[in-house]
Structure 1
């Protein structure tokens, strides 16, 4: 690892989130409450109809991972 990589905390093993897609794992989502991750999305890429699993607008999603980290059921994943 170079001094530059070490200083900035990057390495060859660092994942590139821009190559990933946000996916909703409906089987992991209880679908019985308002999705808490919808409100943390900074660009409004997540929407929810009723109590269903959220929908992702891939064109809006910036793949920041905030919703993934916020989902208590781990139903949102970047893969």
Structure 2
């Protein structure tokens, strides 16, 4: 496999999220603990009050997907 094949393979994994919006599916969020995804957001776009579902500041969100990958219940996702 050539180095160019590696780039092509990796490019297929990158999703275009520019027209997507990060959402919290409250039915999937147990809301009984501190949200682990809040601390992995590199731009502090997620916040949490007590044990409620996290709130998203869409103006700060850079759509990197770290919170989506880190959420153990898959309550965070792009729509």
Q: How many pairs align? A: 75
Deviation at 1:7, TM superposition (A): 4.5
Q: CA RMSD in A?
A: 1.7
TM-score (normalizing by structure 1):
0.85
Structure 1: runs of 5 or more not aligned: none
Give the match for residue 10 of structure 1.
11
TM-score (normalizing by structure 2):
0.85
Structure 2: runs of 5 or more not aligned: none
Deviation at 1:15, TM superposition (A): 2.7
Deviation at 1:55, TM superposition (A): 0.2
